[in-house]
């Protein structure tokens, strides 16, 4: 399985800043073919980033998407608008979308179906809050999030990646320990293998939540961690490159 290292820039970087970053970053990864690399800039930077990535093997991602092709949905972005820009991936169900913007499992399910239908590879984010972890509910929460998100497209698991991102680890500087992450990743692997009837051999299970160039090498040694979804540390091209290097070394 090819591992995937992905950058989620969130609401950071203007168009000019995004291009400046790519100017520094792309030459560094020019010869890297051992892993897949993806960058998800802001929506306003997608078109320029797409042009910049045209002759590069770095994949382009969007941070969100609505499920309808077009219509009266003020402020939303459709899958057709993304495929027009050669967007390869879309991050769906991110905890910030769930918690700050009240996205529910059934909406995420519609987006997942639409992304797969349009050939945009979703990275489905799942993860428990601190309270849920302390109550021993982690695996139940993750199972419910995954089952509802892929309802109706279980057989298409091969076209989907999953990011386990414990809410308490996102943007806090406190990452899950390799052992904590591995336990959940193992559970997710068994779950998706079961619900897809083994059609999950291309599905990467990424870890996300305060990944940096210090903790990446230990985390990636775990057998069921197949890459990362990186927020804060991906904003710096050197740090993001170092994380990619750790994944290649593993």
Residues carrying an active site annotation: 94, 165
The yes or no reply on residue 196 touching ligand PGA (CB under 6 A) is no
The yes or no reply on residue 232 touching ligand PGA (CB under 6 A) is yes
Among 53, 58, 146, 170, binds ligand PGA (CB under 6 A): 170
Distances (CA, A) of 181 to 94, 103, 121, 187, 220: 17, 24, 23, 10, 10
Rounded to whole angstroms, the Cα distance separating 224 from 181 reads: 9
124 CB-contact burial (10 Å; exposed 0-12 / middle 13-18 / buried 19+): buried
The yes or no reply on residue 63 touching ligand PGA (CB under 6 A) is no
Contact segment (CB under 6 A) with ligand PGA among 112-120, 182-190, 213-221, 226-234 equals: 226-234
Shortest distance, position 155 Cβ to ligand PGA, whole Å: 27
Shortest distance, position 231 Cβ to ligand PGA, whole Å: 2
Contact segment (CB under 6 A) with ligand PGA among 29-37, 143-151, 164-172, 242-250 equals: 164-172
Among 116, 219, 229, 247, binds ligand PGA (CB under 6 A): 229
Distances (CA, A) of 224 to 1, 207, 233: 11, 10, 22
Rounded to whole angstroms, the Cα distance separating 98 from 93 reads: 6
The yes or no reply on residue 211 touching ligand PGA (CB under 6 A) is yes
119 CB-contact burial (10 Å; exposed 0-12 / middle 13-18 / buried 19+): exposed
211 CB-contact burial (10 Å; exposed 0-12 / middle 13-18 / buried 19+): buried
Shortest distance, position 91 Cβ to ligand PGA, whole Å: 8
Rounded to whole angstroms, the Cα distance separating 196 from 133 reads: 26
Contact segment (CB under 6 A) with ligand PGA among 29-37, 145-153, 195-203, 224-232 equals: 224-232
The yes or no reply on residue 231 touching ligand PGA (CB under 6 A) is yes
The yes or no reply on residue 213 touching ligand PGA (CB under 6 A) is no
The yes or no reply on residue 166 touching ligand PGA (CB under 6 A) is no
Rounded to whole angstroms, the Cα distance separating 138 from 131 reads: 9
Residue 117's nearest CA partner among 67, 184, 187 is 67
Shortest distance, position 166 Cβ to ligand PGA, whole Å: 10
Contact segment (CB under 6 A) with ligand PGA among 55-63, 102-110, 133-141, 209-217 equals: 209-217
124-114-196-159 Cα dihedral, nearest 10 degrees: -70
Distances (CA, A) of 34 to 76, 244, 248: 35, 10, 7
| Interface with ligand PGA in residues 2-21 (CB under 6 A) | 8
Among 210, 215, 226, 245, binds ligand PGA (CB under 6 A): 210
In the complex, which residues of this chain contact ligand PGA (CB under 6 A)? Answer: 8, 165, 170-171, 208-211, 229-233
């Amino acid at each position: 399985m090819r591992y995937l290292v992905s950058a989620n820039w969130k609401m950071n970087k203007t168009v000019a800043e995004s291009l400046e970053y790519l100017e520094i970053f792309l030459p560094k990864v020019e010869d890297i073919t051992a892993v897949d690399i993806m960058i998800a800039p802001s929506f306003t930077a997608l078109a320029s980033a797409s042009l910049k990535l045209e002759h590069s093997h770095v994949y382009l991602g969007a941070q969100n998407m609505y499920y309808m092709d077009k219509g009266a949905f003020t402020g939303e972005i459709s899958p057709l608008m993304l495929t027009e820009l050669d967007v390869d991936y879309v991050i769906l169900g991110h905890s910030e979308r769930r918690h700050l913007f009240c996205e529910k499992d059934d909406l995420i399910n519609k987006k997942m179906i639409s992304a797969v239908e349009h050939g945009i590879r979703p990275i489905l984010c799942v993860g428990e809050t601190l309270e849920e972890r302390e109550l021993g509910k982690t695996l139940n929460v993750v199972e419910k999030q995954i089952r509802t998100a892929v309802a109706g497209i279980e057989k298409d698991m091969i076209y989907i990646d999953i990011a386990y991102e414990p809410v308490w680890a996102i943007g806090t500087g406190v990452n899950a320990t390799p052992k904590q992450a591995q336990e959940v990743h193992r559970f997710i692997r068994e779950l998706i293998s079961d619900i897809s009837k083994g059609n999950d051999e291309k599905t990467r299970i990424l870890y996300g939540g305060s990944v940096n160039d210090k903790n990446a090498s230990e985390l990636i040694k775990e057998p069921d961690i197949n890459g990362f979804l990186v927020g804060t540390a991906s904003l710096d091209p050197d740090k993001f490159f170092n994380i990619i290097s750790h994944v290649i070394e593993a």
